[in-house]
Amino acid sequence: MGRAQGIAQEILKTADIEVNGSRPWDIQVRNQDFFPRVLAGGSLALGESYMDGWWDCEKVDELITRLLSKDIQKSVRLSAGLILLWLNSVILNAQRSGKAYRIGRRHYDLGNDLYSLMLDKGMNYSCGYWRRARNLDEAQEDKLELICRKIKLEKSMRVLDIGCGWGGFARHAAERHGVQVLGITVSKEQASLAKERCRGLPVEIRLQDYRDLHQSFDRIVSVGMVEHVGYKNYRAFMGMAARCLAPDGLFLLHTIGSDLSGRYGDAWTDRYIFPDGMVPSLQQLSRAAEGQLRIEDLHSFGQYYDSTLMAWYGNFLSGWDFIKDRYGERFFRMWSYYLLTSAASFRSGLARLWQLVLAPPKSPLVYESVRDT
């Protein structure tokens, strides 16, 4: 046994993981160079070596849950990729307006065929609300209705949907509540399909950066978009919402979150899934809102993202044969790893999911919290 393997096995033991063991969460190593590679490269090397087929595991989500629960990353030295991410976050504004459409091209434009088979029938790419739901469609439907109830939608209101995706919320709000919706996205593929899905409804879809908005709305929602804004832009984002919100308006912000304030995301996720992405902390969001918007409500339900991600993974597996010729085996391993490790981050408690309701500082509204659909 080499020195690197010995060190790696000792680290894995602390999370009750065996190399080439028989349990579903035990790692099966196919290439002995895996050990020095991961010890030197951390999470980036772990993900890349999985994509390369250097290791496998029957239950990748359980393996990663155990690693995250024991904070194994602290046992592995700082990788070059993580150092570069840190430097980029401190010196540059990685999410500046000139790069606003990069995430659209790199992630959301991958293919509507992929997202159509993976997501629910409404194509909602964010955490569902599983309080009463029995399946993914119901969980997403309940999430959309929960949002509508939280912002107290009334007929003919004008609503802004920042990061509208494929039009799931816009369509629901227009059909069920009779409101007018402007949805904006930085993805050409999302905009194209959202327009098609919302045809005949009082919904406008634009390919537009949030910083370019200067209109007034009765209500604003942003579901799963602020993760692309970046800590240097949180205050500008809140300022845009404050500028566009009516004096008696409400703004619902739905986001993945972290208990710790950070400046960059995971190195593997940054390179392969969400370039320049990062999740905010409550401290970062509240500081960004201070003096611009007041926080009326905070609802935490990150436990439901595990169920949502595993449902997406099940759909991805069952539909893979229909798209595999276009995407290939390496993409299959990459996307599987993304979904399963994301589920693990919520299962371990490392990642959180919040819905915040905000209002103008001098709003006359007296807000009452909503939890039922």
**Burial class for 209, CB neighbours closer than 10 Å (0-12, 13-18, 19+):** middle
Question: What pLDDT score was predicted for residue 102?
Answer: 83
Question: What pLDDT score was predicted for residue 86?
Answer: 45
Question: What is the rounded distance in angstroms from the CA atom of residue 270 to the CA atom of residue 293?
Answer: 30
Taking each helix axis from N to C terminus, what angle separates 168-177 and 136-150, rounded to the nearest 10 degrees? 60
pLDDT in tens, 83-104: 443 444 444 444 455 566 888 8
Contact 212, 129 (CB under 8 A): no
Phi then psi for 185, rounded to 5 degrees?
A: -150, 160
Cα four-point dihedral sign 75, 91, 279, 296 = positive
Query: Per DSSP, what are the bridge partners of residue 180?
Result: 158
SS (H, E, C) 214-242: CCCEEEEEEECCHHHCCHHHHHHHHHHHH
Question: What pLDDT score was predicted for residue 264?
Answer: 82
pLDDT in tens, 122-180: 999 999 999 999 999 999 999 999 999 999 999 999 999 999 999 999 999 999 999 99
Stretch 368-372: mean pLDDT: 96
Contact 212, 189 (CB under 8 A): no
Q: Could you tell me the two tokens for 163?
A: 């990061």
Query: Is the pLDDT assigned to residue 237 strictly greater than 80?
Result: yes
Q: Could you tell me the two tokens for 156?
A: 């003919």
Confidence of residue 51 (pLDDT cuts 50, 70, 90): very high
CA contacts within 13 A on the Cβ side of 304: 24
Domain locations in the chain?
Answer: 3-77, 102-359
Question: What is the rounded distance in angstroms from the CA atom of residue 195 to the CA atom of residue 356?
Answer: 28
**Burial class for 1, CB neighbours closer than 10 Å (0-12, 13-18, 19+):** exposed
Contact 285, 351 (CB under 8 A): no
The pTM for the full model equals 0.92
Classify domain 102-359 at the CATH superfamily level: Vaccinia Virus protein VP39 (3.40.50.150)
**Burial class for 312, CB neighbours closer than 10 Å (0-12, 13-18, 19+):** buried
List, edge to edge, every strand of the sheet that includes 245-257.
203-207, 180-185, 158-162, 217-223, 245-257, 352-359, 294-300
Cα four-point dihedral sign 265, 226, 105, 52 = positive
Residue-averaged pLDDT of the chain: 92
Cα four-point dihedral sign 121, 276, 188, 208 = positive
Strands (E), the chain: 28-29, 55-56, 158-162, 180-185, 203-207, 217-223, 245-257, 294-300, 352-359
